Amino acid sequence: MNEFSPLKNLKHDIPASIVVFLVAMPLCLGIALASGAPLFSGLISGIIGGIIVGSLSGSPLGVSGPAAGLAIIVLNGITDLGGFEIFLTAVVLAGIIQLVMGFLKAGIVAYFFPSSVIHGMLAGIGIIIFLKQIPHAFGYDKDPEGDFGFNQVDGHNTFGELFNMIDFISPGVITISLISLAILILWDMPFIKKIKVTKIIQGPLVAVVVGIILNILFKGSSLEISSSHMVSVPVSEDLSSFLGNFTLPNFSALKNPDVYVMAVVIAIVASLETLLCVEASDKQDTFKRITPTNRELKAQGVGNIIAGLVGGLPVTQVIVRSSANQQSGGRTKASTIIHGFLLLISVVFFPGIMNLIPLGVLAAILLVVGFKLAKPSIFKKMYSQGWGQFIPFIVTILGIVFTDLLIGISMGVAVSIFMILRNNFRIPFKMLNKSTDKDKLIRIVLSEDVTFLNKASIMKTLEQIPNGSSVMIDASNTKFIHFDVLEIIENFKINAAVRDIEVDTKELYQHKDGKPLTHFKIENK
């Protein structure tokens, strides 16, 4: 049997799926609330993301569901299009577009995101999760779970909320949050991990059970917790009211051109978020498996088609749940699929029990997830890799924390490109001799590939060659020289006569075809 067969890894995947389920439940509800959509629509997407997308996807650790990054788009889409039913039509069309993108192999885009930016994305989201959960741990829940934007729906921002929450502290919530946090930290201790039962029963599940028990015991005391600090799953009294939670799209809206514009926006943003999360979840994978990105786009497309047809929010792969999956020991996509079934079962059969879970418990779980994503050792590691990695890493984090995910990623990519261009402009050597002694031969050895990106560096180097020198431009190891670079060298040869510089070339005109790369070096002999 394959080492990564779902059946062989159920002992790892089932406990992980429970943790992912506990994390996903409030996020699905919170994102729906922040999106201005029916609460049940978030749960529908969580179920579809787990069962449907999880089954079709090739991602071993990725978990899909409603995404915080799409909340503003959904909110504006529902308002601008004139209703949730019309918006659902755009979601169906977005899914079709994603399906086509998968067949056109657009998933290759994922491989062009720099590693430093992906690491910055993980750390940035970790910091946001940590900061956003502090108010929930203290008993202030006006900003819904799943709102990861800097400017919040309650009128405050991420940092202002930390001061605002002081006026709304709930002793009961803090007590449960601290006890839950203590359980989670204890469960991560090496001596606890050696106990066999702790490998089966995860710390978050213990924290949730303890939280429910304490919530019941606190009733009637000064520590009693109000319903506003609890998970709020819609409760259906019978089958008819349960089915009433599903919404069908209004296909008469296909005549509205704005629906198509919204569909394209959803498809592009959802696909980018998915591909970014695919890269991030693959980097977190202990076994370093690679997710087939085109297959992922197809899976997401099918998921969004179904979500739009039954009243769900747009689906993407999401890093918070994917990270919780990895941190909890998930091995295969079975954990994703099982978490989807757990969501379905809880919504259908046990909504009342779910509503006994204090948000403080879930805040404690997410505090640990956030810390693990942004722990100090990650910053130390990125710093040790040099400024070329560290600066885009930090810029991505700051962009995500102070704006949102996609803007932060864009800032990080822009800085990475700038660093590449800067490195191509900078001379990766020093002029060792500026003597006018003609017996001193300066050799410029071109690299295997010389592209237009090297133009500035080559021009600057040739300008710095002392008058009266002898220069050899050696292209014997070169497979590709861009025409612009040849033109620069030709112009230099013309100018060299005026500067009393003797110029000789070696195999310069024999390598005009090949693939582009970067640098060259200079040697004095």
Residue pLDDT, tens place only, 313-334: 999 999 889 999 998 889 999 9
Residue pLDDT, tens place only, 442-495: 888 887 777 777 777 788 888 888 888 888 888 887 777 777 788 888 888 888
Counting Cβ atoms within 10 Å, is residue 230 exposed (0-12), middle (13-18) or buried (19+)? buried
Please indicate, yes or no, whether residues 284 and 164 belong to a single structural domain of this protein: yes
pLDDT for 377 equals 92
pLDDT band for position 304 (cuts 50, 70, 90): very high
Counting Cβ atoms within 10 Å, is residue 175 exposed (0-12), middle (13-18) or buried (19+)? middle
Domain that holds residue 510: 441-524
pLDDT band for position 299 (cuts 50, 70, 90): very high
pLDDT for 510 equals 62
Please indicate, yes or no, whether residues 356 and 505 belong to a single structural domain of this protein: no
Closest CA to 145 of 357, 306, 301, 310: 357
Residue finishing a domain among 323, 346, 376 = 376
Q: Is the pLDDT of residue 267 over 90?
A: yes
Domain count, the chain: 2
Q: Which two tokens stand for residue 35?
A: 């999106």
Please indicate, yes or no, whether residues 486 and 366 belong to a single structural domain of this protein: no
Q: What residues have CB less than 8 Å from 195, skipping those under 6 apart?
A: none
pLDDT band for position 131 (cuts 50, 70, 90): very high
The CATH number of whichever domain residue 486 belongs to comes to 3.30.750.24
Closest CA to 318 of 49, 113, 99, 11: 49
Helices vs. strands in the chain: H and E counts, helices first: 23, 8
Is 201 inside a domain boundary? no
Is 460 inside a domain boundary? yes
Q: Is the pLDDT of residue 503 over 80?
A: yes
- The SS3 assignment for 485 reads helix
Residue pLDDT, tens place only, 408-453: 999 999 998 888 777 665 543 344 454 445 456 888 888 777 777 7
Residue 520's H or E segment, with its range, is strand 520-524
Please indicate, yes or no, whether residues 243 and 160 belong to a single structural domain of this protein: yes
Contact 88, 249 (CB under 8 A): yes
How far apart are the C-alpha atoms of 157 and 147, rounded to whole Å?
Answer: 11
Please indicate, yes or no, whether residues 363 and 447 belong to a single structural domain of this protein: no
pLDDT band for position 248 (cuts 50, 70, 90): very high
How far apart are the C-alpha atoms of 477 and 474, rounded to whole Å?
Answer: 8
Please give the DSSP secondary-structure letter assigned to residue 311. Answer: T
Residue finishing a domain among 376, 391, 426 = 376
pLDDT for 424 equals 60
Among 116-130, 193-207, 298-312, which stretch is predicted with the lowest mean pLDDT? 193-207
Q: Where are the beta strands (DSSP E) in 258-327?
A: 315-318
Contact 143, 154 (CB under 8 A): yes
Residue 382's CB is within 10 A of a number of other CB atoms, namely: 21
Please indicate, yes or no, whether residues 331 and 245 belong to a single structural domain of this protein: yes
Is 466 inside a domain boundary? yes
Please indicate, yes or no, whether residues 334 and 470 belong to a single structural domain of this protein: no
pLDDT for 516 equals 35
Q: Which two tokens stand for residue 512?
A: 């005009």
Is 203 inside a domain boundary? no
CA 431 to chain centre: 43
pLDDT for 426 equals 54
Contact 462, 485 (CB under 8 A): no
pLDDT for 425 equals 59
Residue pLDDT, tens place only, 152-199: 877 888 888 899 888 889 999 999 999 999 999 998 888 887 887 877
Please indicate, yes or no, whether residues 131 and 233 belong to a single structural domain of this protein: yes
Residue pLDDT, tens place only, 368-415: 989 999 999 999 999 998 888 899 999 999 999 998 888 999 999 999
Please indicate, yes or no, whether residues 458 and 366 belong to a single structural domain of this protein: no
Q: What residues have CB less than 8 Å from 475, skipping those under 6 apart?
A: 446, 481, 505, 506, 507, 508, 510, 511
Query: What residue type is assigned to position 143 of the chain?
Result: D
pTM: 0.79
Is 426 inside a domain boundary? no
Q: What residues have CB less than 8 Å from 123, skipping those under 6 apart?
A: 373, 374, 378, 379, 393, 397
Among 40-44, 149-153, 292-296, 384-388, which stretch is predicted with the lowest mean pLDDT? 149-153
Please indicate, yes or no, whether residues 16 and 115 belong to a single structural domain of this protein: yes
Please indicate, yes or no, whether residues 230 and 142 belong to a single structural domain of this protein: yes
How far apart are the C-alpha atoms of 525 and 523, rounded to whole Å?
Answer: 7
Please indicate, yes or no, whether residues 372 and 447 belong to a single structural domain of this protein: no
Is 276 inside a domain boundary? yes
Which of 236 and 134 is assigned the larger pLDDT?
134
Is 167 inside a domain boundary? yes
Residue finishing a domain among 348, 376, 404 = 376
- Whose tokens are 């179904």? That residue is 306
Is 389 inside a domain boundary? no
Contact 227, 359 (CB under 8 A): no
pLDDT for 460 equals 80
